[in-house]
Amino acid sequence: MTEVLVAGGTVVTVDDENTIYEDGAVLVADDEIRDVGPTAELESKYDADETVDASGRVVIPGLINLHVHSGFIRGLAEDLPVWEWLVEHVDPTHRALRREDARAAYELCYAEMAKAGITCTLDMYRYMEEAAEVVDDYGLRAVLSPYVADRDGFEYFPSVQDNVDLVERHHDTADGRVKVWFGLEHIEYCTEAAYRRVADLAAEYGVGIHTHGEESPKKAQELTDKYGMRPIEVFEDWGILSPKTVVAHCVWLTNREIEVLAETDTSVAHCPTSNEKLASGVAPVPKLLNHGVPVGLGTDGIKENNRLDVIQEMKNAALLQKVHRLDARAIPGEQALRMATMGGARALGLDDEIGSIEAGKQADLVLLDFQQPHLSPHFGAENVVPNLVHAAMPSDVETVFVAGDRVVDDGDFRSGDQDAIIENYDEKAKALVERRDNEEWA
C-alpha cells in the first residue's frame, strides 16, 4: 500500500457540515481517502511514503460534470437559438462523424476537463467504446450514455441495441471508473417505444438513464400540445423517471413537473452557461432544491458553452439566479460548490464513493494554487469558498488526483501528450467540417 499525505492546504471537504480545515491534510492510501483533518494531527498519526506540500493551495473534491457532449464545433455554430442551431449545425456534423473522429474528441475533451479539475463526467456522444478506452487510459472516471435515437432520419445515431452492447462490454470496467448508462437523445429523436424499452433495460441491467429535458419554451409548448401533457409528465408516463435518471436542462417546468421530479427522486443536470448562450431561459434551480430534487452542474458541449469548465458553471449558476430573481442570496457559494460535487455524485448514485473529501471515499482531489493576485486576500474559511466559486479559473488547477493517481501534476496533463492530442483533434475537426459541407447525404 502506498500512502500519500497532502498536507498544509486549506481543505474544503463538502461534507454534511461543510467542514473546512485551514491548515488541513488528506491521507490518500492507494485509491482511497484514509483520513482528513488538521495537518498536525495527521502528521503525528501517519508515516506516509510521500508528502505533497499543499501550502498556499486549496484542496477540494474532484468536480463532476453532470452533462457534456464531447465534440468538435467550438466557435463554429454561434449566436443561434437551440433548435435552429441543432438543425443547421449539430445534426449535419453528426452525419459526417466517424469513429476515429469521436476518439480524437474524447482525447481532447477529457484532457480539457481533467486540467479544469473535473474528475468525473456524464458524457453523451457516439462511438462510446472509444470513450471507455480513453477514460481507462487517462485514469479518469466517467458515466457513458450514448446519443440513442430511433426516429426516421437519425439512423446515424446509435440504436438501443448498440447501447445494450456497450453496457454489456464496458459497464463497471477500469476498476469501476467506467460506468455505462442508457442514453436517449430527446423526444424529437426517440420514439415512445425506445423510452419504454430503455426503462425496462435500465432496470434489468441496474444502470441509469440520461436524457434531455426541455430547453426552449416554444418546444416545451409544442410537445405539451402534441402529447396532451407536459414533457416531464410524458417521461413519467413512459416510465423513465427514477432515482437513477438524470434529465438535462429542465429550463421550463410547471409546479406539477417539479413535484413529479421530486416524487420520483429524478435528478437534474443544470447547465447555466449553455442555457444563457442558446437564449433558452433560467431553470428554477432554487425551487428544485427546495423540493429536494438532486441538482448537479453540467457544461453541455463545447459547441454551446464553449468551455468544459465546472468552475465557470458554479459562478454562472449563482449569478443567473441572483440577477433573474433580483435576490443576492439566491445560490450562495456553498450551494454552488455542493451542486458541482455532491449534487453530481448523488445524481449518479455515486455519493458513497465520490463528491466530498471524507474517509472511505475514492481519492478524487483537486489542488488549486491560491497564491495568485485574483485569489487574494487569504482569510481561510471566511472567503475561500466565495473565491473558489467567483474568482478561480481552470488555470489555477495545479494537481488532480483520480482514485489516488495524479492525472494532472503541476498543471501538466500527465495521461497523454497534450500537443499531439491537439494536433490530431485539429486535423480531424477540419476534415470533418469539410466532409459535412461537401458530401451529398442521402
Binding interface with Zn ion (CB under 5 A): 300
Residue nearest Zn ion, Cβ-based: 300
Taking a C-beta distance cutoff of 8 angstroms, is the pair 316, 268 a contact?
A: no
Residue number, 300 or 396, with CB nearest to Zn ion: 300
DSSP element (H, E) containing 107: helix 99-115
SS3 (DSSP) at 24: strand
SS3 (DSSP) at 430: helix
Residue number, 223 or 368, with CB nearest to Zn ion: 223
The least distance separating Zn ion from the CB of residue 171, rounded to whole angstroms, comes to 22
The least distance separating Zn ion from the CB of residue 69, rounded to whole angstroms, comes to 6
Residue number, 257 or 300, with CB nearest to Zn ion: 300
The least distance separating Zn ion from the CB of residue 227, rounded to whole angstroms, comes to 21
Contacts of 72 (CB under 8 A, 6+ apart): 93, 101, 105, 302, 303, 425, 428, 429, 432, 433
Cα distance between residue 89 and residue 194, in whole Å: 25
The least distance separating Zn ion from the CB of residue 186, rounded to whole angstroms, comes to 8
Nearest residue to 252 (alpha-carbon basis) of 200, 216, 294, 202: 216
Residue number, 213 or 333, with CB nearest to Zn ion: 213
The least distance separating Zn ion from the CB of residue 146, rounded to whole angstroms, comes to 13
Q: How far is CA 202 from the centre of its chain?
A: 20
Cα distance between residue 344 and residue 295, in whole Å: 7
The least distance separating Zn ion from the CB of residue 215, rounded to whole angstroms, comes to 8
Residue number, 124 or 366, with CB nearest to Zn ion: 124
Q: Backbone dihedral region of 271: left (phi > 0), alpha (psi from -120 to 50 degrees) or beta? A: beta
Residue number, 35 or 215, with CB nearest to Zn ion: 215
Q: Which residues pair with 211 in a beta bridge?
A: 184, 247
